[in-house]
Homo-oligomer: A and B are copies of this chain.
Amino acid sequence: MQPDMLSTGQGILASQPFSALLGAELTAFAPGLATIELANRADFAQQFGLVHGGVLSYLADNALTFAGGTVLGASVLTAEYKINYVRAARGERLIARATVIAATARQAVCRCDVFIVSNGSETLCATAQGTIVKTGD
């Protein structure tokens, strides 16, 4: 982990009003990987009391973008992604770990696993794959 790189990434995350609304934290940010975490809250639920898919999607989308940004630079956007919800998400914390699978100068294909932490143990609840592109070219 490069502390300066992590601080830079945390500054970018802090400049996203939606991430601030949800309380997301960047906990790892190094070449080829990014981890974003979120303390679960009652107002993140859907009608059955599980974490809303939209929250899991937000996390996956954002972690994918940050992972892509570690190889493409700060001006990046998620162009597209796909997510599978694999287990009902109940617990106190969410962790989205994204990695770069392959990259060119202009785009990166990344993967992200989203885990729910319940009583200290992690369970995979969603997995995503997507394309991050440089903007402004």
The interface of chain A, by Cβ under 8 A from chain B, is 12, 15-22, 42-47, 52-55, 57-59, 61-62, 65, 77-87, 101-102, 107, 109, 111, 124, 127-129, 131
Contact = CB atoms under 8 A, between A and B. Distances in A.
Nearest to A42: B17
Contact of A127 (B16, B101, B127): B101
Contact of A57 (B57, B84, B107): B57
A26 to B, nearest CB: 12
Contacts of A58: 52-55, 57-58
B62 A87 contact: no
A55 B18 contact: yes
Nearest to A124: B102
